[in-house]
Amino acid sequence: MLTGKIEKPWLTEKDTRLTLAYWIVYFVAFLGVAGGAIRCYFAWKQTLHLGNLCLVMEDNFDTFDLENTWTQEVTMSGFGNQEFEMTTNSANNSFVRDGHLYIVPTLTSDVIGYNNVLGSPPYMFNLTGCTDANSTNCGAVSNASANVVIPPVMSARIHTKNQYAIKYGRVEISAKLPRGDWLWPALWMLPVNDVYGPWPRSGEIDIMEARGNGPEYQAQGIDYVRGSLNWGPFSWLNGVSKTFGWWTNRRKTFADGFHSYVLEWDEQFMRIYVDSRLTYMLYLRFNEPFFKRGDFPSVVSNGSNFIELEDPWASGTRNVAPFDQPFYLIMNVAVGGTNGWFPDGVGNKPWLDGSDIAMTEFAQAQEKWYATWPTNIEDRALVVDSVKMWQQC
């Protein structure tokens, strides 16, 4: 057993190296915290905010208000994309149930028979309640020998043009997307008036577009959504490739549940995102004129003549035009089309965009693509839970 005093030199003689190491650890930790705080502060300072907003429209779909909020477009026009659906006012294609709006694609053959769609024998179909000013878009005659078909799908397209539009503000839509090959759900906006000329001169805001094809589809299927702006001097000279973005849901698809699709927009910026600002598809600062942003050629061909290309937005708000005017909201489910949204040669696409009989090729493949459409309306429809629109005030 040891006796006597036990010396403990570490209590009286401090090791300067240990002391230095101690303070270095705390100093580095302090620098990390301070650096993070500074970065967060400047990120917040640089984030552009909308300012005061006033709610101008909110629809939770307790009813389907076709008098004061929504208008149904009824036409066979193809909407410039040569889409393969007609849009109707039928309760089969758009209706409200249990607080949700449903936009549902259905088969035309369920109404008139498959042989009549293909024109064997020739068959005339007139669209009830057509809203198109061009009467040629209100009916069609199928003829198998001429490879002319009646649009093989019925769907719906609704808008707020007659009731609600905003210039700068916020739009938030809670929706679940449809499954099914070649379905094309969209939540988007167009100008109330074509101030700068016909599309795309006066602009288009695509809050959300998607493809109903499965995740295995190589051109971004239902596990992707996209946001974009369309703008340009001519339909064939569009700057959309410079103003688009996308977001992917890696664990689930956007048909598995509801997500919020949001537009925020003022004179300084436009932001389109899914659920939160951390998952944005497009964040665009209005820091240069769109004519300059497009880097368009100075001279273009107009038939056999060459003309000098002028800025169509010179009279508008600098850096913002054509997105300096009121836009209204559109919601629809399109099917197919020949504008390139579904690229040729991907996913066993049953038609070619350059074909003169693209819709006929699609209709003839009905058995294959319809087999991918869920029989359950909940899964085949664009289901909208709510829509809100705010105006900057």
In 153-296, where does DSSP find H-type helix?
Answer: 290-294
- Whole-angstrom distance, CA of residue 45 vs CA of residue 149: 57
For the purposes of burial, counting CB atoms within 10 Å of the CB of 342, is it exposed (0-12), middle (13-18) or buried (19 or more)? buried
Under a CB-based contact definition with an 8 Å cutoff, are residues 47 and 80 in contact? Answer: no
Tokens of 339: 């504008």
Nearest partner of 89 among 149, 131, 142, 134, judged by Cα: 131
**368 near 176, Cβ under 8 Å?**
no
Q: Which of 73, 85, 209, 361 is catalytic?
A: 209
Nearest to 190 by CA among 207, 174, 178, 175: 207
CB atoms within 10 A of CB 118: 23
Closest CA to 382 of 57, 151, 102, 166: 102
Does the annotation count 13 as an active-site position? no
Query: 277, 274, 293: which is closest to 203 by C-alpha?
Result: 293
Residue 209 a catalytic site member? yes
Answer for the pair 363, 115: CB distance below 8 angstroms, yes or no: no
Q: What's the distance, Cα to Cα, between the start and end of the chain in Å? A: 87
Candidate list 73, 83, 85, 204, residue with the active-site label? 204
Q: What's the CA gap between 58 and 56, in Å, rounded?
A: 7
In the DSSP assignment, the letter for residue 197 is: -
CB atoms within 10 A of CB 103: 22
Specify the 3-state DSSP secondary structure of 17. Answer: helix
Q: Which two tokens stand for residue 337?
A: 């089309």
Alpha carbon of 363 to those of 65, 83, 380: distances in Å?
Answer: 33, 12, 19
SS3 234: strand
Strand partners, 173: 261, 387
Strands 106-107 and 123-126: unpaired
Active site residues: 204, 209
